[in-house]
Amino acid sequence: MTSAPNLDQLNPEQLRALAAQLMQRVETMDKQIHHHKTVNEKLPHEIALLKRFKFAKRSEQLSPAQASLLDDPIDTDIAAIEAELEALQSTPTAAKVRQQPKPAPLPAQFPRTLILHEPDKSHCQCGCALKRIGENASEKLDSPPVVFTVERHIRGKWACEQCETLIQAPVPAHVIDKGIPTAGLLAHVMVAKFADHLPLYRQEKIFGQAGLAIARSTLAQWVGACGVQLQPLVDALRVPVLEHGVIYADETPVQMLTPGAKKTHRAYVWAYATSQFADLAAVVYDFSPSRAGEHARTFLNNWHGKLVCDDFAGSRRRLNRALQAPVCKGLAGCVWVRHTCGHTRRRMLRLDF
């Protein structure tokens, strides 16, 4: 830091130059102060957002999978570039010693295929016989392509020559009588569609790659047949859910195409779940072509308890009218409709920011 000049010893020209220099410095410092002030004003907002993403309810947090959609492609490109650089090196360099974490062992329930690697020669260069003193083992995870198999059912015909009686073993029970899919293939299609979110038109292409010409309409018929077979299980699950005094309900829109219609319209899938404090953790899904409260009345029937749902505009009126039980004050034999405030609270949080 330079010492301040003695103003008494400066002439007018030097004073003017010093004043211009000081004014320039003040202007620069003003710009820096404005920049730092702008940055500081953003910090509380960013800190509040980070706290919300870190400590808020799970439904309000930022999903780690959505934090950066480019992480996976970037990591893939970096790995490819590193592999190319290693392949282009003319002389191998000494490998760097890296402290890598020990990989977790592969699950024991997976079948193992033993692949032995032994030297081609059993004698040393000096002529002595080699002796096996141990081994090093490593495991690689493999995934063979999907292999479709055909079950050929042969029912023998047995006859009695004396009384002319014909006997055959009964036909095994199948989910779809006279159909080609087994229960295992139907389970594969159902899990791929509803658990892995793989649409039927994509499954049609996958089957086509294996040489199977199975139309999407056929797959849809399989799914419908499975739904009919699983309906008793859904009805059985509905009984213990309605035995609880508190039920959570929410709906999600789906597009529905009515036979004969050209355009789709919005339908809804309702989820009725037990509370987090119940002994039974269960969810029952119910499809409804509209958001009318009569569908909730049909599902709940004569159930009495507390129904917790979001405060959708009109849901209170529709549910109360459909259930024929207004929001009451502890009277026996009625339905309390409790509305969550999650949507309102999230909107207020955004206003604060």
Q: 251, 295 in Cβ contact below 8 A?
A: no
Residue 333 has phi, psi (to 5 degrees) of 75, 30
17-35 residue pLDDT tens = 888 988 999 998 988 888 8
Structural domain boundaries in the chain = 173-228, 243-352
193-247 residue pLDDT tens = 999 999 999 999 999 999 999 999 999 999 999 999 999 999 999 999 999 999 9
Q: What is the pLDDT of residue 9?
A: 80
Give the Cα separation of 333 and 95 in Å (integer): 76
Global pTM reads 0.61
73-119 residue pLDDT tens = 666 767 777 777 777 665 555 556 666 678 888 999 999 999 999 98
Give the Cα separation of 333 and 344 in Å (integer): 30
Can you list the alpha helix ranges (DSSP code H) found in 94-215?
183-190, 200-209
Average pLDDT in the 251-275 region?
89
* Site of tokens 């036909």: 171
Instruction: Name the 3-class secondary structure at 63.
Output: coil
